[in-house]
Amino acid sequence: MMNDTPTTDAFSNWNPDLRFDLQEAIALINHEVINTSDHASLPKPPIDKLGVVVGILTLNEEIEILIRIDDSLQQICKTEFNADFILVPDEC
């Protein structure tokens, strides 16, 4: 019989105390990012792998950022951002 209860392994990297503050989120606007799985493409990532932080929002008293990659828009909390994204250095 399958158990539908998630294991703690599924959330092992989740840190609920890791949250953006307003100044930190605002400072990320217009910065380019790539997914950590695409880090090998640095310093010149292909345009379809390049994302841009395009906005911020507050949801349930938590600040999240909006990242546009190609034709998609992702809503990301700080824990997800730190685990899944890399800021593209300005000199790239």
Domain-embedded: residue 77: yes
Long-range own/partner contacts, residues 71-79 (CB < 8 A, 24 or more apart):
77/19, 77/20, 78/18, 78/19, 78/20, 78/24, 79/13, 79/14, 79/15, 79/16, 79/18
At 12, is the pLDDT very low, low, confident or very high (cuts 50, 70, 90)? low
Domain-embedded: residue 53: yes
Q: What does the pLDDT read at residue 6?
A: 47
Q: What is the mean pLDDT of residues 46-55?
A: 93
Domain-embedded: residue 8: no
Total domain count for the chain? 1
Domain-embedded: residue 92: no
More confident residue, 15 or 8: 15
Domain-embedded: residue 5: no
Domain-embedded: residue 33: yes
Domain-embedded: residue 4: no
Domain-embedded: residue 56: yes
Q: What is the mean pLDDT of residues 53-67?
A: 93
Q: What does the pLDDT read at residue 4?
A: 53
At 90, is the pLDDT very low, low, confident or very high (cuts 50, 70, 90)? confident
